[in-house]
Structure formats: structure tokens, C-alpha cells
Structure 1
Amino acid sequence: MIPYGRLAFTLDDVAARAGVSLSTWRRQHHAAFTAAVKPLPGSTRPLLYDAAQVDAHLNGQPVPALPEEPHGQDLLTDAETGAVAGLSASTIRADATTGLIDPGTELHGRRWWTRAAAEARAGRPAQYKGRTPGAKDRAPRRTAPDARVPEVAAALAAAENGTGPAVTAAALAARYGVSTRTAERLVARARTHTA
């Protein structure tokens, strides 16, 4: 979350503010900085830091606290927006593309939404409500019967009676143009078909 009226800095910005390169910053100053200044809540990739806190640390002053009261113009990540709206982060991103929530603001390589937009989205019903409670369509889908199974069952019966040749998986594979393993499955299903 980026609090309303506050600037956010990446580590590149912090190093530039200190007047050193990022590699020098990481070698010489980063450990002391991260001990004193915590990233803004919810910021990841990149980590963001409050500009007022950064400036206070660089000037050797006490680090001021972040505002605790939520404001309607606070900028929230997709996950934070989803938490306020009672939805998942992926739903927030999808809603932004379909117009159910405003498209947000691009900042520091990611999209942000205002707290007011998240609260407004919480009041509207979801476009897709999911499965209706008590739905009866949970049975497995029916598949069309395999026409080869009765043929193989008849060939097996003829082989047992001595009126037909022996049924082998290799012969069935050649006859139907399938693998030997599929032919073995046909034989197994034909045996249960006759039983």
C-alpha cells in the first residue's frame, strides 16, 4: 500500500537519493537502512519505501511512522484490493480488463487501485457466482460406447467355442490401427462386456 499523499521509492531511487550507485548502496548502506526503514506494506517486486522515511533516515533523523488511518486514495496492490473487495487478486485483475473495476494506475512496474475503488467493487455482486448450491449435475459425463468392444467380445466368444481364431493384442492392434496397450484394454473391456 502506498499511503495517500506519500511518494514511494524503489532501492534504485533510494541509492540515487543518497548519491551513490546501487551496488555501493547494497555493499555499504543497505543493512543499516533495512534495519531502520521497513518496506511499505504489501510491496513486493520491487520493494517500495516511503519517501519521508527514506529522507529522514538519510538525514540522520528519527524515521516517522506511516499514517495509520486508511484513506480513500491510498494505492493498493491487486492482492490488497482483493482483500478489501472480498475477491481474489486474479479476479481484480480480470475485472480491470472487463471494466467491473477501474483499470488502476501503473506505478513502479505494477498496477495499483485506490481504496475507494476497492470498496466500491466490494458492494457489487461478482459477475460469475460459481456453482449453484445443491446442483445435481455432479455425475460423471457419459461417453459414447466403443463399437469395437462388442466386436472383440464376439471374437473372444468365437475363439472360446473353437469357431474362430485366437484373439491376441497384436492382431487387434493391427486390425484397428491402435497400440498394443490399447488393444489389451479393448480385450479387458470386452471380457467385462460379456460378463
Structure 2
Amino acid sequence: MIPHGRPTLDKDGVAERAGVSPSTWQRRHHAAFAAAVKPLPGSARPLIYDAAQVEAHLKGTPVPALPKDPHPTDLLTDAEAGAVAGLSASTIRADAATGHMDAGVERHGRRWWTRAAAEARAARPAEYKGGTPGRKDKQPRTRRPDHRVTEVAAELEAADAGRREPVTADELAELYQVSTRTAERIMAKARATPSES
């Protein structure tokens, strides 16, 4: 999370503020910096830092605390926005891409959403809300009935009654333009399905 109104720096920006190259910063200064200044919560790839905290560390003054109270213009990662909205991070990204919520802003090579946008997404009606992580209300998929099974069941019944020759997988494979193995599966389902005749 980037607290509202706070400028931020990635590690290259920190090195630039310190007046050294990124490689020199990493080699000589990063260990002491990492012990004193923590990356902003939720930041990764890249790690980002609060500019005021960076400046304080570079000047040798106490590192100020970040604001603790939530603010509508805090910038949240997809995962953080999802936690506020009660959605998965992937749903936040998909909704932003399809216009179902604010598109967010780009900073440090990744997209961020305001807390207000995440809260507005949470307030939308449930039928438009999308998937909630770990939800238990998923409906099982329903398959359309296979007309071939019903047809083959009738043919099998006719063969059993002596009204036609025995049904073979080769015959069904040719009739339905499928493999013999698929034809055998259709026959197996048909035997377990009563015909409608």
C-alpha cells in the first residue's frame, strides 16, 4: 500500500537520491538501509519505499512512521484491493480491464487502485461481484444431453428384441464420425440409459 499523497522510490531511485550507482548502493549501502527502512506493505517486484523515510535515513535523522489510518486515496495492490472488495486479485485485474471498476494508476511498473475504488467495487450488487476467494456456492456445471446416447439406447433395445442386427462400435464410429473408443463409450452410456421408445 502507498499511503495517500506519499511520494515513493524504487531501489534505483534510492541510489540516485544517495548519489551513487545502483550497483554501488547494493554493495555498500543496502544492508544498513534495509535494516532501517522497510519497503511499503504489499510492494514486491519492485520493492518500493516511502520517499520521506528514505530522505530521513540518508540524512541520519529518525525515520518517520507511515500514516496508520486508512484514507480513500491510499493506493492498493491488486491483492490489497481484492481484500477490501472481497474479491480475488485476478478478479480485480479483470474488472479493471473490462471497465467494471476503475482502471487504476501505474506506478513503478505495476498497477495500483485507490481504496475508494476498491470500496466502491465491494458495494456493487452481488450478482455482478465476481468470484470471492474460497467461496462455497459454486454451481456444478450442467452438461447438455448427448443425443447419440438416446439414439443408441433405442438401437440396442431394438437389437435385444431381435428387430435388428447387434449394434457394434465400428458401426457407431462410422455413423457418428468418431473413434471406435468414443463409440464404445457412447454404447456404455446408452446401456445405462433407458430408451425413450
Question: Gapped runs of 5+ residues in structure 2?
Answer: 131-136
Amino acid at match of 1:111: R
User: Matched residues in 2 for 1:85 and 1:152: separation?
Assistant: 55
Q: More displaced, 90-99 or 16-25?
A: 90-99
* Cα displacement (A) at 1:126: 4.6
User: Matched residues in 1 for 2:183 and 2:97: separation?
Assistant: 49
User: Matched residues in 1 for 2:175 and 2:116: separation?
Assistant: 68
* Cα displacement (A) at 1:23: 2.6
8 A Cα contact 1:173 1:182, kept in partner: yes
**Count of residues in correspondence between the two structures:** 187
What is the TM-score with the length of structure 2 in the denominator? 0.71
RMSD: 3.6
User: Matched residues in 2 for 1:16 and 1:27: separation?
Assistant: 14
SS at match of 2:39: coil
User: Matched residues in 1 for 2:175 and 2:117: separation?
Assistant: 65
1:63-111 per-residue CA deviation (whole Å, 9 max, x = no partner) reads: 2211223333322223323333444444444554565544332222223
| Same amino acid, percent of matched pairs | 66
Amino acid at match of 1:114: T
8 A Cα contact 1:153 1:193, kept in partner: no
Moved over 6 A (4+): none
User: Matched residues in 1 for 2:106 and 2:65: separation?
Assistant: 26
User: Matched residues in 2 for 1:30 and 1:36: separation?
Assistant: 10
What is the TM-score with the length of structure 1 in the denominator? 0.71
Who is 2:145 aligned against? 143
Distance 1:179 1:28, change over 3 A: same
* Cα displacement (A) at 1:142: 4.8
1:5-61 per-residue CA deviation (whole Å, 9 max, x = no partner) reads: 321111111122222222332233222222221111121222110111112222333
1:79 aligns with 2:79: yes
Who is 1:188 aligned against? 188
Question: Gapped runs of 5+ residues in structure 1?
Answer: none
Q: 5 Å matches for 1:1-16?
A: 1-16=1-16
Q: 5 Å matches for 1:1-195?
A: 1-97=1-97, 101-126=101-126, 128=128, 140-146=142-148, 147-155=151-159, 158=162, 164=165, 168-170=168-170, 172-174=172-174, 176-193=176-193
